[in-house]
Structure 1
Amino acid sequence: MKVAVIGCTHAGTAAIVNTAKLYPEAEITVYERNDNISFLSCGIALYVGGMVKDPQGLFYSSPAQLAELGVNTKMRHEVTAVDTAAKTLKARNLETGEELTDTFDKLIVTTGSWPIIPKFEGIELENILLSKNFNHSNTIIEKAEQAKNIVVVGAGYIGVELVEAFQLNGKQVTLIDAEDRILSKYLDAEYTDKIEASLHEHGITLALGEKVTKFTGEHGKVGQVVTDRGQYDADLVIMCIGFRPNTDLLKGQVDMLANGAIIVDEYMRTSTPDVYAAGDSCAVFYNPTKKHAYIPLATNAVRMGTLVARNLVAPTVRYMGTQGTSGIKIYEDNIAGTGMTETAAKDAGIEAEAVMITDNYRPEFMPTHEPVMLKVVYEKETRRILGAQIMSKVDLTQSINTISVCIQNGMKMEELAFVDFFFQPHYNKPWNFLNSAGLGALPEVPVRETV
């Protein structure tokens, strides 16, 4: 069996390693246009901020490790064309310019995503950077050393983590986003209001509800970011406004969403036989809505890549879908979410309700008993759990993984109310806060008259 793999980050590495182990007789060739593989881009802010000193810890594989598994890894090779019907591909060596043609029995597409780069006036100025791969992170660190005023455009996870890292390094930082709230895709206002207040307290300027219109500067270098409501000094600008799937190679050959994300079935098969896909190049089945959606996360990628290998010869292990579960730590706040926010549910036309619990996570007789904020969102008619968010100074984020399982299994609020959770004063109360959320959503029982 001849297997060709395009791209080698999270999904690609998982697919390659597992394919090599499951099918030792397979001839596996990997095409990767970068000079490194398996970089954990979610660690960029930790690296930029200095918490991670040795960046090698952010790589979990290497061409040498793949070679030990018998994999032929062609680094700095860009695939330029794919013919899924003829089962051929063309690639170019980016160092020599040499072009080659290869054939395959099975094709695994793990081409990932790339940052969205709007065509703003002045976007070509020096010191306007992206934040995606290892080379980006090194450039950011190098440029940030000399920068005084840093502007981050985009208030998603990466943008918020970067502004914290820059502030801790003593920089003047501005965060710009067209939305009125930071992290608006992940959290409701009850949480983002508190995080925004924390960023303000640390001296970070928030320019929310503002759209970037252009960049200006002198001598070819950026100097200001101009929005529809203001102007901000900038020696360095980091663009973090989102990602798009890298799927141009397969356009017209496999089914895709409107944004180009490849649609795969529960066994990671595309609409074309013997062509599989995984990771940020794909749509995922989103359990809260029961529809395909584009949710680029490393966790989705490694699961999907592993499943590609398991199902490469025959459909064996089914993908259970995702809840888009994620977490973030901003200063002292531990935050996590899964599934839909209340805002997202309403935007999707779902009649949703929510329970908000604010309580001390363990008994007040304990020496410390930090408060926890938990919000659980559910469908009003069916009472099916749709999502949840949590925030505390104590790390209670694993509770969101529990809610993720509840959503995946289609559980209702009354089931959450009476799930068997242990009690021990070091850790929680007799009614775990997850139980309390379920109890808070129980319908009122009418009082029956006694005869």
Structure 2
Amino acid sequence: MKVAVIGCTHAGTAAIVNTAKLYKDAEITVYERNDNISFLSCGIALYVGGVVKDVQGLFYSSPEKLKELGAVTKMRHDVIDVDLDRKILKVRNLETDEIFEDDFDKLIITTGSWPIVPKFEGIELENIVLAKNFYHSNTIIDKAKDAENIVVVGAGYIGVELVEAFETNGKNVTLIDTQDRILSKYLDKEFTDIAEEELKKRGIKLALSQSVVKFEGENGKVKKVITDKGEYTADLVILCIGFRPNTDLFKGKLNMLPNGAIIVDEYMRTSKEDVFAAGDSCAVFYNPIKKHEYIPLATNAVRMGTLAARNLVKPTTKYLGTQGTSGIKIYDLHIAATGLNEGLANYYGIEYDTVLIEDSYRPEFMPTHEKALLKVVYEKQTRRIIGAQILSKVDLTQMMNTASVCVQNDMTIEELAFVDFFFQPHFNKPWNLLNIAALNAIG
């Protein structure tokens, strides 16, 4: 069985490793444009901020490791065309410019995503960089050394983590976003207000509800970011506007969402027989809304890549869908969320109720008993839990993994009220915070 894999980051690596383990007779060929694989882009801010000293720690595989498994990894090779009916790839060797063809029995598409880069005036100026791969992280570190004023465009997870890293390194930092709140995709206002205050306290300038219009420069280098509401001095600009699926190669050949995300079934099969897809190139089944959606997360990618391998010969293991569970640490704040917040529930037209509590995470007789802010979102009619968020100076983020299971299993708010959680004064109260929130909701 000849297996071709296009792209090798989270999903690709998981698919290759598991294919090699499960099918000893498989001939696996991997095509990758870059000269490195398996870079944890979620670690860029940690590397930039100096928390991670050795960047090699952010690589969790290598061509050498894949070779040991029997996979042939062709680095700096770009697949330029695919005939899915004849099962043939056309490939360019980026080192020699040679073009050749290769055939396959099974194809796994793990081409990932790429940052969204609007065609701003002045986008070609030097010192405007992206934050996605290994080279971007090195470029950011290199250019940040001499930069005094740094502007980050995009207040999602990566953007927020980067502004903290730059501020910690003594830079003047501005964060620009079109939304009126940071992290608005993940958190409701009660949570983002606290996070924004934390950033402002450190001198980070928040330029929210603003759209970048253009960049201005001197001697070919960026000097100013102009928005529809102001202008900001910049020696370095990082674009973190979002991601799009890297799937142009398959347009018109596979079923996709309007944004180009490949639609797969619960076994990672595409609309074409023997063609599988996984990771950021795909749409995922989003349990809170019971539909496919584009949610590019490393956790989704690793699961999907593993499942693509397991289901390669015959369907054996179903994908359970995702809740888009995620977390972030902003200075001393530990924050996590799963499923829908109020903004997303409104966007999808779901009628919902919420319960918000602020309570000590453990008994007040303990030497310390930090407060936690917890919110649960549930559907009005069915009472099923569709999302939750938590924020505290103590790390209680694992609670969102528990809430994620509740969403996945369509648990109701009444059921959550009486779920069995342990009690030990070091860790929690006789009623767990999730219990307490649900009890408040049912009255």
TM-score, length of structure 2 as denominator length: 1.00
Q: CA separation in 1, counterparts of 2:376 and 2:132? A: 32
Residue number in structure 2 paired with 1:81: 81
Q: Larger deviation: 391-400 or 91-100?
A: 91-100
Distance 2:346 2:246 in 1: 30
- CA apart distance, 1:99: 1.0
Q: How does 1:64-75 map to 2 (within 5 A)?
A: 64-75=64-75
Rounded to whole Å, the distance in 2 between the matches of 1:419 and 1:388 is 16
> Deviations along 1:209-242, whole A, 9 cap, x unmatched?
0000000011000000000000000000000000
Q: Paired residue for 1:438?
A: 438
**Cα deviation, residue 96, structure 1:** 1.0
Identify unmatched segments of 5+ residues in structure 1: 444-451
Which amino acid in the other structure matches residue 394 of structure 1? V
What is the CA-CA distance between 1:441 and the residue it aligns to? Answer: 1.2
- Whether 1:55 and 2:65 are equivalent positions in the alignment is no
State the partner residue of 1:28: 28
Partner residue in 1 for 2:168: 168
Partner of residue 221, structure 2: 221
Amino acid at match of 2:349: G
Q: Equivalent residue for 2:120?
A: 120
CA distance in 1, matches of 2:362, 2:4: 53
- Give deviations 1:307-352, integer Å, cap 9, x for gaps: 0000000000000000000000000000000000012102211111
SS in 1 for 2:358: strand
SS of the residue corresponding to residue 136 of structure 1 reads helix
Counterpart residue type for residue 161 of structure 1: E
Name the residue aligned to 2:315.
Answer: 315
Please give the alpha-carbon distance, in whole angstroms, between the structure 2 residues aligned to 1:75 and 1:347.
Answer: 41
Displacement after TM superposition at 1:428 (Å): 0.4
* Equivalence map 1:281-300=2 (5 Å): 281-300=281-300
Which structure 2 residue ranges, 5 or more long, are not aligned?
A: none
**Counterpart-to-counterpart distance in 1, 2:346 and 2:158:** 26
1:362 and 1:236 mapped to 2: Cα distance? 44
SS in 2 for 1:3: strand
Structure 1: distance between partners of 2:276 and 2:110: 9
* 1:342 match: 342
What is the CA–CA distance in structure 2 between the aligned matches of 1:372 and 1:380, rounded to whole Å? 25
**Offset, 1:204:** 0.2
- SS for the counterpart of 2:89 is strand
Aligned match of 1:238:
238
What residue in structure 2 maps to residue 251 of structure 1?
Answer: 251
Q: Distance in 1 between matches of 2:285 and 2:419?
A: 26
Task: Report how far residue 85 of structure 1 moved.
Answer: 0.6
Partner amino acid, structure 1, of 2:382? T
In structure 2, C-alpha distance between the alignment counterparts of 1:82 and 1:434, rounded to whole Å: 49
Structure 2 CA distance for aligned equivalents of residues 35 and 139 of structure 1: 16
- 1:393 paired with 2:393, answer yes
Aligned to 2:4: 4
In the alignment, the residues of structure 2 paired with residue 94 and residue 437 of structure 1 have an alpha-carbon distance, to the nearest angstrom, of: 56
Report 1:289-438 matches (<5 A): 289-438=289-438
Q: Which stretches of structure 1, 4 residues or more, deviate above 2 A after TM superposition?
A: none
Work out the CA distance in 2 between the residues paired with 1:267 and 1:111: 18
CA distance in 2, matches of 1:116, 1:23: 37
Q: TM-score, normalised to structure 1's length?
A: 0.98
Question: SS of the counterpart of 1:194?
Answer: helix
Whole-Å separation in 2 of the counterparts to 1:308 and 1:64: 22
2:153 aligned with 1:153? yes
Aligned-partner SS, 1:158: helix
- Counterpart residue number, 1:133: 133
CA deviation digits over 1:346-378, x for unaligned, max 9? 221111110001000000000000000000000
In 1, Cα distance between equivalents of 2:218 and 2:350? 50
Hey, what does 1:268 align to over in structure 2?
A: 268
What amino acid sits opposite 1:103 in the alignment? D
Q: Counterparts of 1:99 and 1:28 in 2: how far apart (Å)?
A: 20
Query: Equivalents in 1 of 2:41, 2:230: separation in Å?
Result: 31
1:3 CA displacement: 0.4
For 1:225 and 1:350, how far apart are their aligned partners in 2?
38
What are the superposed Cα offsets for residues 135-173 of structure 1, whole Å, 9 maximum, x if unpaired?
Answer: 100000000000000000000000000000000000000
Correspondence for 1:448:
none
Rounded to whole Å, the distance in 2 between the matches of 1:238 and 1:174 is 10
CA RMSD, Structure 1 to Structure 2 (Å)? 0.5
User: What letter corresponds to residue 95 of structure 1 in structure 2?
Assistant: E
Q: Deviations over 1:25-80 (max 9, x none)?
A: 10000000001000000000000000000011101100000000110000000110
Match of 2:37 in 1: 37
Query: 2:116, 2:343 → 1: CA distance?
Result: 24
SS in 2 for 1:241: coil
- Hey, what does 1:207 align to over in structure 2? 207
Deviations 1:98-134 (A, max 9, x none): 1110000000000000000000000000000000000
